[in-house]
Structure 1
Amino acid sequence: MAVTTRSRSRDAKRKGDTSSVKSQQPHGREKDVDVMEFGGSIGAAGIILFSHTILYYFWYCLEFNEGGLSDPGLASLFTAPREWKDFISDVVAKAATHCYPTLYAWKIYLTYVTLEVLLAFMMPGIWIKGYPVPSEGNQRLSYLCNALWSWYAFLLIGLSFHISGVWRVTELADNYGAVMTVAVIVGNLVSIMMYVAARIQKRENRMTGNFLYDLFMGIYLNPRIGYFDLKMWAEIRISWKLLFFLTISAAAKQYELYGTVTWPMIFMVTAHFLYTNACQKGEECIPTTWDIFYENWGWMIIFWNFAGVPFVYTFQSYYILKQEPYHFHPLLHVLHFLLLFSAYYVWDTANSQKNRY
């Protein structure tokens, strides 16, 4: 239970209490009290640290242990702490060498992001109205939903580049660690930029006054360049297309190495294609979701859009790549795909019906 008076709100800010504070609307207007989620600034700091750590830990496991979990063992944390110190030092040293953000990695990632921006402005689509936004005077913002055509164009461009040899899709798998670091840097920079932009433009929304927590949760609800909505664009185009891009790169690399693409890899390509395609074709359902209508665009969403989702969620694809080709019994493959398509149909249809109801 969080019952907060105005005086307690001031005391909370002085004492660093993260339970609840009075939030501020633009121009200092107070809004209803919001409870600080995720454990306040301490929890936010922990999630930020964990989010960076898990990316590089998964990368380390893939590159140096064929995807198997690597650590000295929980017991040694107390009995032989030096082993953990040496392990962490090894991870940091290898990441500094193999995940260094090279100029080529920057070109790959920024070219991808730039292409997605251009397609968002150039491709045809339909206009959708969102919910009335209280912090915008109950204005209903308009959204140009052209993700599906942008998706088709993206696939055609990528395929033509790969076939023509202009740029091979395997380059992404070959530069996995370096591109991941670029994504991490961009995610952090965009988060800071959005915080600063909200303060400069006086567009603060549900701001608590705790810098780290506000950076983490965000204080900018609807960051836009004209009609171009940055939050919705990043949520479905940067994260999920890059996820599919990474998995396709893993499949292409497997074929390059072994002359075959195994059924487990085909399963991952299919699953990631279905989900990414669903996000693009159902873009008009997104303006009414909680992410767009209520959540501010802060570090929590931005970092995981630009780096966390694509690189963490493709761990399975790269785990398969790191193994020698293997095949299960054909009936097991059939069962896997039946479960996949059945689950996908229920999930996709139910969410579509829920939005249109």
Structure 2
Amino acid sequence: MPRREKSPNKSRGRERARSKSASRTKSSPTKSPSRRPVTRSRSRTPSRPAKTSSAAEVVIQEVNQVAPTPRTPSRPKSRSPSRAAQKETVVTKRTVVTSVVSSSSGQEQAAHTPVRSSSRIASLIEKEKEASYLIKEQMKSEMITNMKTPPPSAPKKKEKGPHYEFMGPIGAFLLIFLLPATVYYVNMACRKTKCSILIVPSLPRNFVAAFFDTEACLIFFGWMAFQALLAVLPVGRLVDGQPLKSGGKLKYRCNGFLALVVSLAGLGVAVYLKLPVTKVVDKFFKLMTVATIFSFAFSICLYVSSHFVSSKKLAPGGNSGNFIYDFFIGRELNPRVGPLDLKFFCELRPGLIGWVMMDWIMVLKAYQETGTFPPNLVLVTVFQTLYVADALWFEDAILTTMDIIHDGFGFMLCFGDLVWVPFLYSLQPRFLLESGFTLPWYCLAPIVVINLIGYMIFRLSNSQKNLFRKDPKHPVFSGMETVPTQTGRKLLASGWWGICHKPNYLGDLIMALAWSLTTGFGHIFTYFYPLYFLVLLIHRERRDNEQCAAKYGASWERYCQRVKYRIFPYIY
């Protein structure tokens, strides 16, 4: 049979079918990694440079992140996306790539008409840009507003008012006039013929002549200059003071005992040369007036000069802002003139040494008048000389007292050092000189014992305190009880300081009682010193207790539970 030839129409149909199947195969994603996606092959054009295709690859990756190929999670078996989704993705990617490539190459491309999905994505991108722009503008406006508007400050704590002592400004104002009045009243009420608190002393007709003269001024200022010269001599120990608020420590020349010895030796030379040294006793009230006027003038100068120093040099309690109170307490903590520390100098030199010099001149005057040395007068003078010599021998111990480290140098300390101490503490010797009162030896012997007991308690307790402050790890304290504090220091709760808070005050008061016992029991005014000293030391102990409670907190409470008594064991 003749061979049948294929119809050209049929062959054309088969070719069309094959081309359709081939096109379907190319358009559908393949599992083989070697084949490339249709979108990537269509995006290449022979006329475009190679770097355009790399930029397009970057853009395609970004577009894939924005509009990934949709998947149908409900049909896990069918991994191929639908044709509609495939076409939509291809058209979207081609549109974005074309626009990016045309903008990067700078060549004008024909406008493409994107489908609905590509326009939706373009609008989303535009909205995103607009939203980010609005956020940036809002952040800028907020930053500008915050710069103009100050940040809200934390609620301020209520500032505490100044801590007043001595009943505050009113008490300070009264004491400025009450202290000088007390010195004059006590000395005028206790004279040769009378010594009673019930008798009001009469004022002399010529008040100025009785209480002031030029010779008294020369004696007073000559004495002050002589003691200042001894204080600045480069002789004696140079001791560091306590740490200051401003940082560092001050240096102090401790040669007070030498100044006492030189002063007593100078008195002996004056007696040997038969100089009229007893004029000091004759001009007692005139010297007291000069010292009082100088104390007021000196305190005013100290107050004015304190306004020209750094705030770090001011005393903790003397910077209240109240003129009267600050003038009384003292604003500046450690005023100095060259190498001379004014407060340290006045605390021990002119007042204390002047007190002892006054006592011995009274003994000399009694000898000139009677030809004998009254035993009462000599005994009380020896007691008081021992007391002052002890203070000057241990001169560096005063650097840790409240007067030096806490109180400023104002009227309170200035008047107390230069007037109160020399002209009131010498009351018993002056009474014995003017009255001629004596006691038999069997009455004086127990008084000597009482004074020695008081001095032993005073000296041993102070020595124990000073040694513990210098070296808490000394072998002497190995078996003693201490209370640790948050400041790193320890509180001694054994030995003398385990009996009461202030055993040195107890010894001080016992000695003060012995001094007044030499005057007998007939006059209450001669016991002014121990009575006043009792009030003073109780007040000082309470001030110190407040400061220690604020400084040590719970540690001080534990110390007070261990040591229950303040000054007098089993009493107070």
TM-score class, shorter-chain normalisation, is 0.7 to 0.9
1:130/1:142 contact within 8 Å kept: yes
The answer for the alignment partner of 1:56 in structure 2 is 184
Q: Distance in 1 between matches of 2:402 and 2:233?
A: 27
The yes-or-no answer on 1:148 pairing with 2:257 is yes
Q: Match for 1:187 among 280, 295, 318? A: 295
Q: Distance in 2 between matches of 1:97 and 1:63?
A: 19
Q: Distance in 1 between matches of 2:179 and 2:418?
A: 12
The yes-or-no answer on 1:98 pairing with 2:206 is no
Once the two structures are superposed, what CA deviation does each residue of 1:157-206 show, in whole Å capped at 9, x if it has no partner? 121112212x3331111110100101111111111111111112344444
Q: Match for 1:45 among 155, 158, 173? A: 173
Matches within 5 A, 1:1-357: 5-6=158-159, 20-21=161-162, 35-63=163-191, 65-71=193-199, 90-91=202-203, 93=205, 95-100=207-212, 102-122=213-233, 124-134=235-245, 136=246, 138-165=247-274, 167-202=275-310, 203-206=313-316, 207-324=319-436, 326-357=437-468
Kindly tell me the number of residue pairs found equivalent between the two proteins: 308
Q: Distance in 1 between matches of 2:190 and 2:315?
A: 40
TM-score relative to the length of structure 1: 0.81
Q: In the alignment, residue 151 of structure 1 is paired with which amino acid?
A: L
2:232/2:339 contact within 8 Å kept: no
Once the two structures are superposed, what CA deviation does each residue of 1:189-225 show, in whole Å capped at 9, x if it has no partner? 1111111111123444441111110000000101112
Q: In the alignment, residue 217 of structure 1 is paired with which amino acid?
A: I
* More moved, 199-208 vs 231-240: 199-208
Deviation for aligned residue 1:300 = 0.5
C-alpha distance 256-340 of structure 1, shift in aligned 2 (>3 A): same
Q: Which structure has greater helix proportion?
A: 1
TM-score relative to the length of structure 2: 0.52
SS of 2:361's equivalent in the other structure is: helix
Q: In the alignment, residue 174 of structure 1 is paired with which amino acid?
A: D
C-alpha distance 221-63 of structure 1, shift in aligned 2 (>3 A): same
Q: In the alignment, residue 251 of structure 1 is paired with which amino acid?
A: V
Deviation for aligned residue 1:226 = 2.9
C-alpha distance 121-318 of structure 1, shift in aligned 2 (>3 A): same
2:299/2:414 contact within 8 Å kept: yes
Q: Distance in 2 between matches of 1:204 and 1:335?
A: 47
Structure with more contact order per residue of length (Cα contacts < 8 Å, sep ≥ 6): 1
Q: Distance in 2 between matches of 1:44 and 1:304?
A: 14
The answer for the alignment partner of 1:15 in structure 2 is none
Q: In the alignment, residue 159 of structure 1 is paired with which amino acid?
A: G
Deviation for aligned residue 1:93 = 4.7
Give unpaired runs (5+ residues) of structure 2: 1-156, 469-572
1:66/1:322 contact within 8 Å kept: no
SS of 1:143's equivalent in the other structure is: strand
Q: Distance in 1 between matches of 2:348 and 2:390?
A: 10
Identity of aligned residues (%): 25
Give unpaired runs (5+ residues) of structure 1: 10-19, 22-34, 73-86
SS of 2:276's equivalent in the other structure is: coil
Look at both structures and tell me which one has the larger radius of gyration over its CA atoms. Answer: 2
Deviation for aligned residue 1:38 = 0.7
Q: Distance in 2 between matches of 1:60 and 1:290?
A: 32
Q: Distance in 1 between matches of 2:204 and 2:169?
A: 26
Q: In the alignment, residue 188 of structure 2 is paired with which amino acid?
A: Y
Q: Distance in 2 between matches of 1:91 and 1:238?
A: 29
Q: Distance in 1 between matches of 2:449 and 2:435?
A: 24
